[in-house]
């Protein structure tokens, strides 16, 4: 079964979930140096924190995931798309979706949605590498979100 997500008002969340969010906030802001310190301050057990920590996020935390949509015209020859995907992976980019048109006049348009949240630097560095990749005629960001 696929993961399902909900937006829920904080005041109706169970206390353990609210405290888990507080612990994560204390840790990310530096107001607590360790999980032990943060759970003590929040009044939550360590086991409850570890049970919920990977399943609860503030909405703005999710929005910080960086996804770009890239359109590229690639030469229609063996290995070009594979090398582009390998380049994205080598830069810690994660391809979420891919759509490729049928090649016309020796080129195919490929649109990739890429999670760049783990990419060192910013997306412009990845784009420059893609533009210089053999077989890439042009590459541009057509969307962010």
d(CA 61, CA 51): 19
Look up residue 61 and give its two tokens. 């935390």
Q: From CA 35, how far away is CA 89, in angstroms rounded? A: 32
Rounded to whole angstroms, the Cα distance separating 20 from 27 reads: 11
Contacts of 33 (CB under 8 A, 6+ apart): none
Q: What is the CA radius of gyration of the chain?
A: 21
Total-model pTM: 0.56
Given a cut of 80, whether residue 65 has pLDDT beyond it is no
The string of pLDDT tens digits covering residues 88-126 is 999 999 999 999 999 999 999 999 999 998 887 778 899
Q: Which residues pair with 99 in a beta bridge?
A: 111
Q: Tell me the CATH number for domain 67-144.
A: 3.30.70.260
At 121-144, the pLDDT tens digits run 778 899 999 999 999 999 999 988
pLDDT digits (tens, 9 = 90+) for 10-56: 899 999 999 999 999 898 888 998 999 999 999 999 999 999 988 88
Distance, in Å, from the CA atom of 51 to the CA atom of 49, rounded to the nearest integer, reads 5
Closest to 86 in 3D by CA, of 21, 140, 130, 39: 130
Please answer whether residues 42 and 26 qualify as being in contact, where contact means their C-beta atoms are separated by less than 8 angstroms: yes
Q: What is the DSSP letter of 13?
A: S
| Contact present, 19 and 43 (Cβ < 8 Å) | yes
- Domain ranges in the chain are 10-63, 67-144
């Amino acid at each position: 079964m696929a993961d399902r997500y909900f937006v829920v008002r904080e005041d109706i969340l169970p206390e353990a979930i609210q405290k888990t969010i507080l612990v994560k906030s204390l840790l990310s802001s530096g107001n607590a140096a360790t999980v032990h310190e943060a759970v003590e301050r929040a009044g939550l057990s360590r086991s409850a924190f570890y049970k919920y920590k990977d399943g609860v996020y503030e909405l703005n935390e999710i929005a910080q995931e960086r996804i770009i949509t890239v359109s590229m015209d690639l030469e229609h020859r063996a290995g070009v798309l594979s090398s582009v995907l390998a380049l994205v992976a080598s830069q810690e980019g994660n391809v979420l979706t891919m759509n490729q048109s049928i090649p016309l006049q020796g080129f195919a348009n490929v649109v990739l949605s890429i999670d760049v949240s783990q990419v060192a630097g910013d997306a412009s560095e990845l784009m420059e590498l893609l533009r210089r990749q053999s077989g890439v005629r042009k590459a541009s960001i057509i969307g962010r979100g």
